[in-house]
């Protein structure tokens, strides 16, 4: 049987089992390999090379379901090393399937992972990798398969939220061995074969990075494997040494081998349950989600779930490439945050020490790449799935209640204080202000307030990552001076960027305080929200490092990476004032000066799309006399920074933020200020976008093009009436309705240019 014939047979079974004759087959537009190669965009080549891993999107070809606990991926890298994903497109050797907890598109770490490698013929436990070419692979969100010619074996994997099924098909009669390893870089993995049950189980302890680097994260990645056939030959190994013991622990290169005899064309299917609480939890998850060995049914169910989810947004266009990029972005935007609880509601306590908590309802999530995703990825699901946002908000609040302080960047269920800002404040405030309020509003406010107004009494707690970094300097000076090196943080210094991001978070919390009629806090926080102005140097028109005595740091290099700026330059970070663009414009000398400053950034080639602080910049022309320049800039970025090739993402996808930006921009609107509920309009890529909303409502965007190259807005109507604003509000969109956008080939320099038609923020 050829590889194509074999894979076609699997697909046919999946489609028949799924009984989904009317399926749109949107999964066919998803390209999981996108972002697995070195970025080739001009922006990445110019700005990304100085940051470790920044020229890789660092996505993986994950077989998964939206926001699932475990992703299943081919493994070409065998470690859990920071910034090294399990799979690189450039690699040529396959080392098995991995049950992965890689944070998609990140420069972080995998954790609690394990791998299963199939080989045939004589048993070997070293040098077992199989050479492959990409024509040997087929990759989809619900199913991955590979033709291992070296072993005359086909292997495939599918999955559920917490479980995976692997299927191995022999191309010749031979012995099949499965090598099972816990991928512990700390040599702390444990694996055991139970002869009575025929089960292999194990765990891989998770460790922290950033604050508390190397310390235990207080939980394990557990896995339980059940086999369709009885194991004929088993044992343990450490590198090339074989043992007849039933378990192995704390050894590098250690694992268990399980042997079978397969005839030509015969299949072996295995089921794997995963958990973060216990082996018992992994077994419960497996019994609930994959109780038998019906590989085709599980794959069909996964495909149907993806079709339903992707089908919430339907596109009308003749450009198939744009659809591929869009639905691939959609897939990437649904990798994290990660489901962390078992089917019975048990989950590991946040920042705990192997304690288990019990949910009263809903789900518990972790792995929030918060500095990235508060900008667009989470706002996307405020529209698409408000109940999911409720779950995220409640999960974040549980962390704050269990450990005393809201985490800054909660990953691997721990404090990290990675990156800067305090953007759980943005996420929860935004949800509450949009009416997504299935939590105790006053209790939530107090937890958020503590981060904004207090610091831990214990220095040890602060070092662990609790509380805002450098809050004392921020409150004392009304900016963070360069003398405060922010030593107790992974990202040290970066004082100007911290000042600006805290100012945004203070604005977000101020709106929450206002809604609770807490006037005292509202006034104090609104005053603090203007602190960004204290690092704006009017003599240069840009932000700049400042000493404690008020003097500016010299020499000033606006287009070079500086220690007081986070992953960028002063010119790039000057535009990070999402909550007060009109205030920034006033500092610059008015809206026209803002426009000129934006022009300068783009004309100098200093816009860097591959990193998040600039993602709002193209839409800021909507606050200037020339909104048409937003339409032009966004179209250029969509064309230059995204493609459907493996190297087509211009930087780390960062848990879906880069992808969510594409989705918003391609649909024609974007949340410059996520907490405001306002979205800046631009020219959509598609002829029609239809978004299914809760309550059987639809939000439709219909483009009327005057010509084939029409990319500028001539006029807009909302539900059949002229609409002159250059933004749309959340509450209007969520009621459902139709936005007609009329495009022409030349700029309409009048549309949306009057101050009364622009956001006041």
Identify the pLDDT of residue 47. Answer: 60
Q: Which ranges in 516-590 belong to alpha helices (H)?
A: 519-528, 570-573, 581-588
Q: What is the pLDDT of residues 13-39, one digit of tens each?
A: 444 344 333 446 999 999 999 999 987
Please report which confidence band the pLDDT of residue 49 belongs to, taking 50, 70 and 90 as the band edges: low
pTM: 0.96
Sheet arrangement for strand 174-182: 71-74, 97-100, 114-120, 174-182, 254-262, 233-238, 241-243
Residue where the block lists tokens 């809903």 = 362
Identify the CA nearest to 101 among candidates 300, 274, 228, 241: 274
Mean pLDDT confidence for 494-502? 98
Task: Say how far apart CA 137 and CA 97 lie, in whole Å.
Answer: 13
Tokens of residue 212, six digits: 């508390």
Mean pLDDT of all residues in the chain? 94
Q: What is the pLDDT of residues 272-322, one digit of tens each?
A: 999 999 999 999 999 999 999 999 999 999 999 999 999 999 999 999 999
Question: How far is Cα of residue 749 from the mean position of the Cα atoms in its chain?
Answer: 37
Identify the pLDDT of residue 312. Answer: 98
Question: How far is Cα of residue 314 from the mean position of the Cα atoms in its chain?
Answer: 22
| pLDDT greater than 80 at residue 683 | yes
Identify the pLDDT of residue 43. Answer: 65
Question: How far is Cα of residue 100 from the mean position of the Cα atoms in its chain?
Answer: 15
DSSP-derived secondary structure for 210-258 = STTTTSEEEEEEEEEEEESS--SEEEEEETTEEE--SEEES-TTEEEEE
Please report which confidence band the pLDDT of residue 610 belongs to, taking 50, 70 and 90 as the band edges: confident
Q: What is the DSSP letter of 349?
A: P
Identify the CA nearest to 380 among candidates 110, 671, 77, 760: 671
Task: Say how far apart CA 560 and CA 458 lie, in whole Å.
Answer: 37
Between 253 and 732, name the one with better pLDDT.
732
Task: Say how far apart CA 289 and CA 275 lie, in whole Å.
Answer: 12
Identify the CA nearest to 229 among candidates 194, 262, 183: 262
Asked if residue 100 lies in contact with residue 113, where contact means CB atoms within 8 angstroms, the answer is yes
Between 176 and 708, name the one with better pLDDT.
176
- Please state which of the ranges 34-43, 595-604, 650-659 shows the lowest mean pLDDT: 34-43
Please report which confidence band the pLDDT of residue 758 belongs to, taking 50, 70 and 90 as the band edges: very high
Tokens of residue 544, six digits: 């700049």
Tokens of residue 122, six digits: 């004589």
655-678 burial, b for 16+ CB within 10 Å, e for fewer?
bbbbbbbbbbbbbbbbbbbbbbbb
Please report which confidence band the pLDDT of residue 50 belongs to, taking 50, 70 and 90 as the band edges: very low
Identify the pLDDT of residue 649. Answer: 84
Identify the pLDDT of residue 21. Answer: 33
Asked if residue 710 lies in contact with residue 698, where contact means CB atoms within 8 angstroms, the answer is no
| pLDDT greater than 60 at residue 106 | yes
| pLDDT greater than 60 at residue 9 | no
| pLDDT greater than 60 at residue 709 | yes
Please report which confidence band the pLDDT of residue 656 belongs to, taking 50, 70 and 90 as the band edges: very high
Asked if residue 41 lies in contact with residue 631, where contact means CB atoms within 8 angstroms, the answer is no
Please report which confidence band the pLDDT of residue 42 belongs to, taking 50, 70 and 90 as the band edges: low
Q: How far is CA 739 from CA 380, 632, 681, in A?
A: 18, 20, 11
Helix (H, G, I), strand (E, B) or coil at 190: strand
Helix axes 441-453, 424-433, angle to 10 degrees: 150
Tokens of residue 254, six digits: 């250690």
| pLDDT greater than 50 at residue 77 | yes
- Please state which of the ranges 6-20, 36-50, 365-379 shows the lowest mean pLDDT: 6-20
Identify the CA nearest to 214 among candidates 60, 82, 386, 65: 82
Radius of gyration of the chain (CA): 26
Please report which confidence band the pLDDT of residue 389 belongs to, taking 50, 70 and 90 as the band edges: very high
Please report which confidence band the pLDDT of residue 52 belongs to, taking 50, 70 and 90 as the band edges: very low
Mean pLDDT confidence for 574-603? 98
| pLDDT greater than 80 at residue 139 | yes
Tokens of residue 131, six digits: 């050479």
């Amino acid at each position: 049987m050829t590889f194509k014939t074999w894979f076609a047979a699997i697909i046919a079974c999946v489609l028949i089992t799924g009984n989904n004759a009317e399926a749109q087959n949107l999964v066919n537009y998803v390209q999981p390999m996108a972002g697995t190669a070195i970025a080739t965009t001009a922006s990445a080549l110019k700005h990304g090379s100085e940051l470790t891993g920044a020229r890789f999107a660092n996505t993986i070809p994950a077989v998964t379901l939206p926001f699932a606990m475990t992703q299943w991926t081919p493994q070409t890298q065998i470690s859990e090393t920071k910034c090294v994903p399990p799979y690189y497109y450039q690699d040529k050797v396959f080392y098995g399937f991995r049950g992965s907890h890689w944070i998609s598109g990140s420069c972080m770490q995998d954790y609690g992972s394990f791998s299963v490698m199939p080989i045939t013929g004589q048993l070997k436990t070293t040098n077992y990798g199989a050479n492959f070419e990409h024509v040997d692979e087929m990759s989809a969100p619900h199913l991955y398969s590979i033709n291992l010619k070296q072993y005359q074996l086909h292997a495939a994997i599918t999955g559920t939220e917490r479980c995976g099924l692997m299927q191995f098909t022999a191309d010749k009669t031979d012995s099949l061995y499965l090598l099972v390893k816990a991928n512990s870089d700390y040599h702390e993995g444990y694996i055991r074969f139970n002869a009575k049950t025929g089960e292999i189980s194990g765990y891989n302890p998770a460790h922290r990075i950033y604050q508390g680097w190397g310390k235990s994260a207080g939980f394990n990645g557990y896995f339980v494997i059940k086999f369709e056939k009885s194991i004929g030959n088993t044992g343990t190994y450490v590198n090339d040494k074989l043992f007849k013991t039933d378990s192995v622990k704390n050894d590098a290169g250690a694992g268990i081998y399980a042997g079978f005899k397969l005839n030509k064309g015969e299949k072996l299917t295995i089921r794997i349950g995963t958990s973060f609480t216990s082996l018992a939890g992994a077994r419960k998850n497996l019994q609930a989600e994959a109780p038998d060995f019906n590989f085709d049914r599980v794959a069909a169910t996964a495909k149907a779930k993806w079709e339903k989810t992707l089908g919430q947004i339907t596109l009308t266009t003749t450009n198939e490439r744009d659809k591929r990029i869009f639905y691939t972005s959609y897939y990437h935007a649904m990798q994290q945050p990660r489901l962390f609880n078992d089917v019975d509601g048990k989950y590991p306590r946040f920042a705990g020490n192997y304690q288990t908590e019990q949910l009263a309802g809903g789900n518990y999530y972790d792995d929030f790449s918060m500095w990235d995703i508060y900008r667009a990825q989470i706002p996307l699901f405020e529209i698409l799935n408000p109940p999911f946002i409720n779950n995220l908000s409640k999960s974040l609040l549980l962390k704050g209640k269990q450990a005393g302080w809201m985490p800054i960047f909660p990953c691997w269920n721990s404090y990290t204080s990675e990156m800067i800002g305090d953007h759980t404040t943005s996420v929860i405030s935004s949800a509450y202000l949009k009416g997504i309020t299935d939590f105790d509003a006053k209790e939530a406010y107090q937890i958020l307030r503590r981060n904004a107004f207090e610091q831990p009494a214990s220095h040890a707690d602060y070092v662990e990552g609790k509380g805002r970094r450098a809050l004392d300097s921020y409150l004392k000076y009304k900016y963070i001076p360069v003398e405060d090196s922010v030593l107790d943080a992974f990202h040290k210094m970066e004082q100007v960027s911290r000042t600006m991001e805290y100012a945004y978070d203070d604005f977000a919390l101020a709106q929450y305080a206002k809604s609770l009629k807490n006037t005292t806090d509202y006034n104090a926080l609104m005053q603090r929200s203007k602190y960004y102005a204290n690092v704006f140097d009017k003599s240069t028109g840009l932000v700049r490092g400042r000493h404690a005595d008020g003097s500016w740091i010299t020499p000033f290099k606006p287009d070079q990476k500086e220690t007081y700026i986070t992953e960028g330059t002063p010119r790039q970070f000057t535009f990070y004032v999402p909550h007060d663009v009109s205030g920034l414009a006033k500092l610059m000398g008015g809206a026209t000066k803002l426009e000129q400053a934006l022009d300068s950034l783009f004309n100098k080639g200093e816009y860097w799309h591959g990193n998040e602080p600039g993602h709002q910049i193209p839409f800021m022309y909507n606050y200037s006399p020339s909104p048409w320049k937003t339409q032009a800039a966004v179209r250029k970025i969509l064309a230059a920074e995204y493609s459907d090739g493996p190297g087509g993402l211009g930087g780390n996808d960062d848990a879906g933020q880069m992808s969510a930006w594409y989705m918003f921009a391609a649909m024609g609107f974007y949340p410059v200020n996520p907490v405001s509920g306002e979205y800046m309009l631009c020219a959509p890529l598609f002829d029609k976008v239809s978004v299914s909303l809760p309550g059987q409502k639809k939000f439709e965007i219909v483009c009327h093009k005057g010509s084939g190259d029409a990319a500028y807005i001539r006029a807009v109507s909302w539900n059949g009436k002229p609409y002159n604003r250059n933004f749309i509000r959340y509450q209007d969109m969520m009621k459902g309705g139709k936005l007609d956008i009329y495009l022409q080939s030349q700029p309409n320099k009048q549309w949306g240019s009057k101050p009364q038609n622009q956001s006041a923020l």
